[in-house]
Structure 1
Amino acid sequence: MFRTLRGIPLLGCLLGSIGCHGQPSAPPPIAKGDYSAIIRYLQARIPREMARENVPGLSIALVNGQELIWAHGFGLADKARGVPVTPNTAFRAGAISKLLTATAALQLVEQQRLELDAPIQHTLREFYVRSRFHSDQAAADRDITLRRLLSHQSGLPSEHLRDLRSSFAMSQMPMRVSGVWLSSPPGSQVAYSNLGYALVGAAIERSTGKDFETQLQTSLLKPLRMSQSSFVGTGTQLGYRALGYQDGSASTDAQVRDLAAAGLWTSPKDLSHYVQMLFAQGIYRDHRVVGSASIEQMFTQQNTGNALDFDCQIGLGWFLAPCGDEPVAPGVRTYQHSGGGDDFAAQLTLLPDPQLAVIIMANDSNAEDMVVALSNDALRLMLQAQTGRPVCADNCAAPTHGLKLRQVPAAVDRKRLAGFYATAWGVFRIRDEHSRLSGELSGYTFDLLRDEDGWLRAQKKFLGFWLEDLGELGRVQLDVVTVQGRQMLTARSHGQRIALGERIDPPTLPLAWADTIGTYQVLNTHEPDAPLSGVSVRLEDGFLVIRGQLHDEPLTDYILLPVDNAHAVLAGNGYGLGDTVSRQVNGLSASGYAFKRTQSPHKPLIF
């Protein structure tokens, strides 16, 4: 809810980094078993890319089965003090934290302290939800299970923004968010939720009687000899932790409230121990850490039959398919998780069949694309070293840069497609004007043309004459399909179809919600680094559009759909969508915040 584009996959690259992937030097041919050639290539390539992208520090680990092939640090963990990155330097892992949290939860399932398919309310008795999808509210509570929390299918909102940077105990979270409205029907689709993992962390604490850090150290981190890893708060006083940077400047070491979702500090070298344990079916150095059945559950697709998820597959914690990102190689199973935000970037990708893995972490928020590209290329070289055969993605085809002339959609096609689409990145407007079809997202405009395969492609001309290379935005194929009675905007990227958004028709606007047009400021918050300072509501083409505000920075636009006189939802489905906004006396409430009206374009309506 109310997010900026940075950190959201696919279109974050499409819009934020047009032509973002610079071309690295061609990798050398790798003889079978010659991992030293891979290391030499990466030792030359990584510093060049770090310099080009202004990334201060980076750490990498390469794993082959039970062997750590290489772990190395590049650049600086602290520029001001000249502290170098070493293999033992800890970085913020961001969302990779969820992999450790899921593993710890499965350990407790083995011990019968938690149950995968029992309502989480059996453990967190004070927690309950409200639902517009259930006639029986008790049934809604029963639908929130540990399995659905771990696979992002609980239907809970993606975030609870109020006090996001606070340090209150994890055990308080269930009570603080009790009564939250579900954003989607549980079990119907994957909608990424940090809030869900915060509740998993609380359930781990409740079922063990220990605080989260103590339990994770005892059950997982110490048995795996992850000596530089912990979920303890900030790292300003600990010398082995890297500082985060944004645009070359050191950032504040932010407090993370939802430790189970994003609080892990670790190194690629430490995470290599975790990967080796997974490859050994739960055993690390002759000690069983977790049962093989739990490993199998973790890597079993949990969202089979969810039509709205298209080709995106998820396990317990792990993404089991690239979900629109570039695959490592055709036909090679790839499991991965990334971690971004708080001015760090990380990627953990493993290939379960050849038992290869690459872990990369960097201390700059702008390093995400570089980290992903390095991970994929390193894995391709490792496959080549293992098999003796060259490997590349997309059947080694040269990329299509979207510079060919294409066909303007026919009038009936343009009419069918034109409309407002609710996406996690904001409102995607498709317009049929002047006998052409155009798209607009977050202020970026482009033409939409049909390609030779019948898909929509984005295209833009410089000064109206020369075709621009739009990078990934020009390569991704778009179209609108009807699924379960909903008109879904989808993308085909690297052979996979994923959901981008949903077409929304203008609703009948109740007077009560028409009267909400205006600006609002957050009430009663003393957060030092609050993610939201206000919202505004306006009318556009028959839609209520709500926009978050962070001080002087406008955030993303969302369509606000009234449900009744007291409640409305952010239109669409997926990350940050479906969340409930409520009318209050002289204000609104959402994601734990109360907002007071500061400006209205008209006198309040009386009804």
Structure 2
Amino acid sequence: MLNRLPLSMLVAALFMSPPSAEAANAMAPVAQAENVEQGITAFLQSEMRERDIPGLQIAVVRHGKVVLSRNFGVASLQYGVPVTGASLFSINSATKSLTGVAVMQLVQQGKVELDAPVSRYIAGLPQAWQSVTIARLLDHTSGLPDVLNQATGKLVGPQPDDPEAAWKAVQALPMDFVTGQRFRYNQTNYVLLAQVIERQSGMPYVDFIRQGQFVPAGMRHSGFGDAKDVVPGKASSYYLAGQEYRNVIEDFPVFMRAGAGINSSADELGKWLIALQSGKLLKPESLARLWQPGTLADGKPAPWALGWPAIRRDGHRAVAGIGGARSAFYVYPNDDLAIVILTNLAGGQPEQLIDTVAGFYVPALRQQAGGAYAGYLLRQAIGRKGFDGLGPQLSAIRQQHALPNPDEGELNAWGYRLLRQQRTSDALAVFKLAVQLYPDSANGHDSLAEAGEAAGDQALAISHYRRSVELDADNGHAIERLKQLEKNEKSPASPQIR
């Protein structure tokens, strides 16, 4: 169901006389571009199979132009509809990046100040909220309680389907921490930012985004909506329950749409990124401020800039928009490169693929951020050699290609994909490799212990749950499982009935 790469060179050319030096030089960039496209296509098709991603779009922006635009797979499993350039995907929380741009547009207009308290623009807030600045809302260092229960995905309060009741309930909750002390991602920040944008622009949030960004960028088909709305061309969204696909019922309440709710395509987001970097949406100094990572009260860097996760700060710098573990875009300002990958699988994690794609255009990037490419090559090697000796296999790959280790998060995701496929022994091998590479990761030991349970190796599970708790005394999952396993270990075996 994946698109096949079209032939771009005529067979008749094989029978022509050799090209002149000038012609050969002219053809070299074309051949190089084809090699890049073939490499990216092979990589994406492999990862779609690995991750069970039904449909995917990619757009690559290089030097202010879209240099690659491809569509793969199906937009609807139910109806067998292929992904096309017109297919729209939910970008979920990557919407926050556009909210950051909207705030900076108001800053340019003199209608908002980043260091001003939110109470300057919104009256009647709880006393503890009033001194929180606009910048602290944008970079998630506000300390405000979250209107969305992250554990359940429901709104807080006794009426989780009632936005007004939830907004009232969250304002009665205590602060999570003193403003600026640490980072905690939450949706309350962006509910407030939507209110600021509406009050200071004089129009609904969605209209300000449409007029201020969609229209000047030429995004004619992008818009807001969830499962309750009719969105022409919308790709269905899925998640995997075991090995079965299930429909994602998207619910983006209107009052929370500054944090999630945009549907777009890779090509249209590519246009938006071009408009953003060419000065159509923001002045250069405003763009620089937008992408400047926040700072905590102790002077340490925060993980986010103004609406944008700050992926890397040095060398091949990257800022991003990431949503729902299914849609992502990275901008590499120092390399004049941006990449958009959208999928219709929650848990597809396209953000793990983007650095590898970028490495096809900026080979030097692989030395800094080529861990995902190392993981990809390791999976190819496993197809030939199996899961025995993963460590030595990875070492050989790294040495041959001058690559760093795969990221801990990618190894963890790979291990859980194998568990979902009931390939327990293979999952154990991957989790053991992760613990070998990241021995001080509480999450890594927790994952290995969980795989040990699945394999029926109680001693392994207990050992690594204990180590996880040693590294993170607040790991509730490990604590609970350890109690249960130790209880089972001490309990006498049940008598057999003959």
**Percent of residue pairs bearing the same amino acid type:** 22
Alignment deviations for residues 250-307 of structure 1 (CA, whole Å, 9 cap, x no partner): 4143221221111111111111122112322x22xxxxx2232221211223216646
* Distance in 1 between residues matched to 2:41 and 2:369, nearest whole Å: 26
Q: Aligned to 1:180, what secondary structure does the other structure show? A: coil
**Structure with higher strand content:** 1
Alignment deviations for residues 189-248 of structure 1 (CA, whole Å, 9 cap, x no partner): 222122211211122122233222122111111111112211233376323111111224
Q: Which residue of 2 aligns with 1:361?
A: 342
* Distance in 1 between residues matched to 2:365 and 2:142, nearest whole Å: 42
Q: Which residue of 2 aligns with 1:413?
A: none
Q: Aligned to 2:224, what secondary structure does the other structure show? A: coil
| Amino acid of the structure 2 residue aligned with 1:349 | Y
* Distance in 2 between residues matched to 1:198 and 1:273, nearest whole Å: 27
* Distance in 2 between residues matched to 1:393 and 1:48, nearest whole Å: 23
| Amino acid of the structure 1 residue aligned with 2:137 | L
* Distance in 2 between residues matched to 1:102 and 1:163, nearest whole Å: 23
- Mapping of residues 100-139 of structure 1, within 5 Å: 100-129=98-127
Contact kept, 8 Å, 2:226 with 2:252, in 1: the verdict is yes
Alignment deviations for residues 155-192 of structure 1 (CA, whole Å, 9 cap, x no partner): 112443354775858xx986564333211111222221
Q: Which residue of 2 aligns with 1:393?
A: 368
Contact kept, 8 Å, 1:229 with 1:267, in 2: the verdict is yes
Contact kept, 8 Å, 2:294 with 2:302, in 1: the verdict is no
Out of 167, 170, 174, the residue aligned to residue 181 of structure 1 is 174
Q: Which residue of 2 aligns with 1:327?
A: none
Contact kept, 8 Å, 1:58 with 1:361, in 2: the verdict is yes
- CA 236–44 in structure 1, closer or farther in 2 if over 3 Å, else same: farther
Out of 285, 292, 297, the residue aligned to residue 300 of structure 1 is 292
Q: Does 1:321 align with 2:311?
A: yes
* Distance in 1 between residues matched to 2:68 and 2:429, nearest whole Å: 44
Q: Does 1:382 align with 2:361?
A: yes
* Distance in 2 between residues matched to 1:205 and 1:474, nearest whole Å: 51
| Amino acid of the structure 2 residue aligned with 1:152 | H
* Distance in 2 between residues matched to 1:207 and 1:367, nearest whole Å: 37
* Distance in 2 between residues matched to 1:346 and 1:120, nearest whole Å: 30
Q: Which residue of 2 aligns with 1:249?
A: 245
Q: Which residue of 2 aligns with 1:191?
A: 184
Q: Does 1:148 align with 2:136?
A: yes
Q: What is the Cα deviation at residue 359 of structure 1?
A: 0.7
Out of 437, 444, 456, the residue aligned to residue 475 of structure 1 is 437
| Amino acid of the structure 2 residue aligned with 1:153 | T
* Distance in 1 between residues matched to 2:340 and 2:309, nearest whole Å: 15
- Mapping of residues 449-464 of structure 1, within 5 Å: none
Q: What is the Cα deviation at residue 337 of structure 1?
A: 2.9
- CA 374–182 in structure 1, closer or farther in 2 if over 3 Å, else same: same
Count of paired positions: 371
* Distance in 2 between residues matched to 1:118 and 1:470, nearest whole Å: 49
Contact kept, 8 Å, 1:402 with 1:475, in 2: the verdict is no
Q: Aligned to 1:302, what secondary structure does the other structure show? A: coil
Out of 196, 201, 204, the residue aligned to residue 211 of structure 1 is 204
Alignment deviations for residues 139-164 of structure 1 (CA, whole Å, 9 cap, x no partner): x4442111110111111124433547
Q: What is the Cα deviation at residue 54 of structure 1?
A: 1.9
Alignment deviations for residues 112-145 of structure 1 (CA, whole Å, 9 cap, x no partner): 332212111222212225xxxxxxxxxx444211
* Distance in 2 between residues matched to 1:143 and 1:312, nearest whole Å: 19
Listed as ranges, the gaps of 5+ residues in structure 1 are 1-30, 130-139, 284-288, 324-329, 405-424, 426-443, 445-461, 480-488, 492-539, 548-554, 559-607
| Amino acid of the structure 1 residue aligned with 2:359 | R
* Distance in 1 between residues matched to 2:83 and 2:71, nearest whole Å: 5
Out of 337, 341, 348, the residue aligned to residue 321 of structure 2 is 337
Deviating more after overlay: 248-257 vs 98-107: 248-257
**Structure with higher helix content:** 2
Q: Which residue of 2 aligns with 1:98?
A: 96
Alignment deviations for residues 398-438 of structure 1 (CA, whole Å, 9 cap, x no partner): 7999969xxxxxxxxxxxxxxxxxxxx9xxxxxxxxxxxxx
Q: Which residue of 2 aligns with 1:485?
A: none
| Amino acid of the structure 2 residue aligned with 1:93 | I
Q: What is the Cα deviation at residue 366 of structure 1?
A: 2.8
Q: What is the Cα deviation at residue 87 of structure 1?
A: 1.9
| Amino acid of the structure 2 residue aligned with 1:297 | R
Q: Aligned to 1:359, what secondary structure does the other structure show? A: strand
| Amino acid of the structure 2 residue aligned with 1:475 | L
* Distance in 1 between residues matched to 2:310 and 2:430, nearest whole Å: 34
* Distance in 1 between residues matched to 2:183 and 2:166, nearest whole Å: 22
Q: Which residue of 2 aligns with 1:261?
A: 259
Q: What is the Cα deviation at residue 395 of structure 1?
A: 8.5
Q: Aligned to 2:362, what secondary structure does the other structure show? A: helix
Q: Which residue of 2 aligns with 1:348?
A: 329
Contact kept, 8 Å, 2:356 with 2:370, in 1: the verdict is no
* Distance in 1 between residues matched to 2:479 and 2:218, nearest whole Å: 45
| Amino acid of the structure 1 residue aligned with 2:361 | M
Q: Does 1:58 align with 2:56?
A: yes
Contact kept, 8 Å, 1:235 with 1:241, in 2: the verdict is no
- CA 199–142 in structure 1, closer or farther in 2 if over 3 Å, else same: closer
| Amino acid of the structure 1 residue aligned with 2:285 | A
* Distance in 2 between residues matched to 1:82 and 1:472, nearest whole Å: 37
* Distance in 1 between residues matched to 2:131 and 2:368, nearest whole Å: 40
Q: What is the Cα deviation at residue 472 of structure 1?
A: 3.3
Q: Aligned to 2:331, what secondary structure does the other structure show? A: strand
Q: Aligned to 2:78, what secondary structure does the other structure show? A: coil
Q: Aligned to 2:323, what secondary structure does the other structure show? A: strand
Q: TM-score, normalised by structure 1?
A: 0.54
- CA 114–42 in structure 1, closer or farther in 2 if over 3 Å, else same: same
Q: Aligned to 1:321, what secondary structure does the other structure show? A: strand
* Distance in 2 between residues matched to 1:313 and 1:255, nearest whole Å: 27
Q: Which residue of 1 aligns with 2:14?
A: none
